[in-house]
Amino acid sequence: MKNLVIAIDGPAGSGKSTVAKALAEKLGFMYVDTGAMYRALTFNAIRKNIPFTDVDRLVDMSKNAVMSFRIVEGKNRIFLNGEDISDFIRTEEISKLTHHIASILTIREILWRLQRELRKEHNIVMEGRDIGSKVFPDAQIKIFLDASIKERAIRRYKQLKEMGIEGDINCIETDIRQRDKNDEERDIAPLVKLPDSHVVDTTGMEATQVADKIVSMIQKMSIIPMPGAV
């Protein structure tokens, strides 16, 4: 029997990361942030001065990249070639440029293979934009998180402020609209609401409230045993 997968998809700022972390903790599952993987490769390309137009070099870089997730002092961290780069991949620059990496099919296929490998050893909560559609179309549970543009912009503004970065709320809102457009209109693995996804609007809700709502939903479905649920 395959290990269990909860696939969480949704646009930027819908709460995927915080909700997925809280849900994984409640269930005792492994949490996987696939967006961090694309951000890590974007960061690496910038560091190596590889133009985003040089697809061959970007693919070679991606093939040779060694990525892993580790819990450090209670926080999920991403390591690239042995280096913790978690704090370097959350800048606005990386956010704006990641779509270049995400639009290359060969690179997506490399990451899809890495993501699927994790299921062999763990029950997982995986979040991104193509988890239910491409990575795990056979996921036992598929969730699509959404929220209003304004709410998502406020969340991003607060996130940046916590990192010591001042942002302009109007610019952030504009950037989110553009990211939505990029994600929904790209030819390769666009962001979609699947017919078998459970749509959850997170506007006005804290991550723990959303996670509790999903846990309640799972309990009613009787698909997954609840070892860590409260």
- pLDDT confidence of residue 138: 95
Residue type, 168: D
In a domain, 59, yes or no: yes
Give the Cα separation of 120 and 61 in Å (integer): 25
In a domain, 226, yes or no: no
Number of alpha helices (DSSP H) and beta strands (DSSP E) in the chain: 8, 8
Nearest one of 34, 2, 1 to 189, comparing CA atoms = 34
Residue spans of the chain under pLDDT 70: 1, 223-230
Residue pLDDT, tens place only, 183-221: 899 888 899 999 999 999 999 999 899 999 999 988 888
Give the Cα separation of 34 and 201 in Å (integer): 21
- pLDDT confidence of residue 85: 97
Give the Cα separation of 198 and 144 in Å (integer): 6
In a domain, 197, yes or no: yes
Give the chain's domain count.
1
In a domain, 105, yes or no: yes
- pLDDT confidence of residue 228: 46
Q: What is the DSSP string of 20-32?
A: HHHHHHHHTPEEE
Nearby residues of 210 by Cβ (< 8 Å), 6 or more positions away: 15, 19, 22, 145, 200, 202
In a domain, 101, yes or no: yes
Domain that residue 109 falls in: 5-215
In a domain, 227, yes or no: no
Give the Cα separation of 179 and 12 in Å (integer): 7
In a domain, 221, yes or no: no
- pLDDT confidence of residue 48: 97
Question: What CATH number is given to the structural domain containing 202?
Answer: 3.40.50.300
In a domain, 48, yes or no: yes
